[in-house]
């Protein structure tokens, strides 16, 4: 028997296996497309002939496939499901809290223990100290798997026992990430259309502007956590003015205005609700309605 099995050898699953092998863990692997296992077998992984053999090979099975539905398609079939009993399945495929709870249900009914993880970094950061994985599930099961997971990522955070918690933070982080990425694309297009350097924009961000934005995001989250919206250095009213300018500029130059329309509309709703003198964190009051 090996120490751990990894099912799913895409970009992320392969990075997980390399990290485990580098730390000396006896690792069995399986992937639908067998050729992706070859470089890992060359590094020392054991290749299972099918998914059932992969599950049988180890007490702990990490699954990193496209989504929870694929996990079910692989594990919940008659040839594989009976072998789940007594094993610990650690789901590292991304998903929503609802999908995680559904996986907990059918995996639990199969007699296996279940942890649900959300990988918060890119494959390059796997196996490194800054690699971050959030994990939800029973404390005792987590403690048993923690040393192994620490070989995969240096920053393993147990977010609590209820399954779905890790995915909730994943969805929440996605909001911050996608907002920032869309804003950055919009900003780059503004530079292009005005004939100023995107490279200088990037350097200014690196030299301090991104840090200022990070600090503003942290301040906003702390304010929401403590329901405190007064004494703002930059009120919602000021933000609304900036968002309107961004929209006016997009319309004047004919660049894609979808991002600016959305931002201006949300701030305008805040103004209409009488929140103009409060911190932009007060927009949460609109979202709670």
Ligand X SMILES: NC(=O)c1ccc[n+]([C@@H]2O[C@H](COP(=O)([O-])OP(=O)(O)OC[C@H]3O[C@@H](n4cnc5c(N)ncnc54)[C@H](OP(=O)(O)O)[C@@H]3O)[C@@H](O)[C@H]2O)c1
Positions that interact with ligand X (CB under 6 A): 8-13, 31-33, 36, 64-67, 70, 73-74, 93-94, 119, 122-123
Q: What is the DSSP string of the chain?
A: --SEEEE--SHHHHHHHHHHHHTT--EEEE-SSGGGGHHHHHTTPEEPSSHHHHHHT-SEEEE-SS-HHHHHHHHSSTTTGGGGTT-EEEE-S---HHHHHHHHHHHHHTT-EEEEEEE-S-GGGTTSTT-EEEEES-HHHHHHHHHHHHHH-SEEEEEESSTTHHHHHHHHHHHHHHHHHHHHHHHHHHHHHHT--HHHHHHHIIIIIHHHHHHHHHHHHHHHHTT---S-SS-HHHHHHHHHHHHHHHHHHT---HHHHHHHHHHHHHHHTT-TTS-GGGGHHHHH-
Question: What's the closest the beta carbon of residue 130 comes to ligand X, in angstroms?
Answer: 14
Nearer to ligand X, 126 or 250 (CB): 126
Cα→Cα distances 102→97, 161, 281, Å: 9, 15, 33
Closest distance to ligand X from the beta carbon of 117 (Å): 9
User: Between residues 11 and 217, which has the closer beta carbon with respect to ligand X?
Assistant: 11
Closer CB to ligand X, residue 47 or residue 262?
47
- Residue placing its CB nearer to ligand X in the complex, 36 or 189: 36
* Shortest Cβ 14–ligand X spacing (Å): 7
C-beta of 237: minimal distance to ligand X in Å? 38
Residue keyed to tokens 């077998």: 41
Minimum CB–partner distance for residue 119 and ligand X (Å): 4
- The answer to whether 167 and 97 have CB atoms below 8 angstroms apart is yes
Q: How far is CA 3 from the centre of its chain?
A: 26
User: In terms of CB distance, is 70 or 202 closer to ligand X?
Assistant: 70
**Nearest approach, Cβ of 211 to ligand X (angstroms)?**
24
> Measured from the CB atom, is 119 or 282 closer to ligand X?
119
130 versus 207: smaller Cβ distance to ligand X: 130
- Smallest gap from Cβ 27 to ligand X, in A, equals 15
The nearest distance, CB 120 to ligand X, in angstroms, is 7
Q: Which residue is nearest to ligand X (CB)?
A: 10
CB 46 within 8 A of CB 2: yes
Nearer residue to ligand X within complex by CB, 64 or 89: 64
């Amino acid at each position: 028997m090996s120490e751990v099995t990894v099912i799913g050898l895409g970009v992320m699953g392969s990075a997980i296996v390399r990290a485990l092998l580098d730390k000396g863990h006896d690792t069995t692997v399986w992937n639908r497309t067998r050729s992706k296992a070859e470089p890992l077998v060359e590094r020392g992984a054991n290749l299972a002939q099918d998914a059932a053999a992969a599950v049988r090979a180890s007490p702990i099975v990490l699954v990193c496939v496209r989504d929870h539905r694929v996990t079910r398609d692989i594990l919940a079939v008659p040839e594989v499901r009976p072998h789940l009993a007594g094993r610990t399945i650690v789901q590292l495929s991304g998903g929503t809290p609802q999908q995680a709870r559904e996986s907990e249900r059918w995996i639990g009914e199969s007699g296996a223990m279940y942890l649900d993880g959300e990988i918060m970094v890119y494959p390059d950061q796997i196996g490194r100290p800054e690699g971050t994985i959030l994990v939800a599930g029973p404390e005792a099961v987590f403690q048993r798997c923690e040393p192994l997971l620490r070989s995969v990522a240096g920053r393993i955070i147990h977010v609590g026992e209820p399954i779905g918690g890790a995915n909730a933070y994943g969805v929440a982080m996605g909001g911050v990430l996608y907002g920032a990425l869309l804003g950055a694309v919009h900003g780059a297009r503004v530079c292009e259309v005005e004939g100023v350097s995107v490279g200088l924009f990037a350097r200014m961000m690196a030299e301090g502007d991104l840090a200022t934005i990070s600090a503003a995001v942290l301040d906003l989250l702390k304010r929401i956590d403590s329901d405190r919206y007064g004494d703002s250095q930059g009120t919602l009213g000021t933000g609304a003015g900036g968002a309107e300018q961004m929209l006016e500029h997009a319309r004047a130059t004919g660049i894609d205005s979808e991002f600016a329309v959305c931002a201006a509309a949300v701030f305008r709703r805040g103004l209409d609700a009488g929140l103009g003198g409060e911190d932009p964190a007060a927009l949460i009051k609109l979202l709670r309605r």
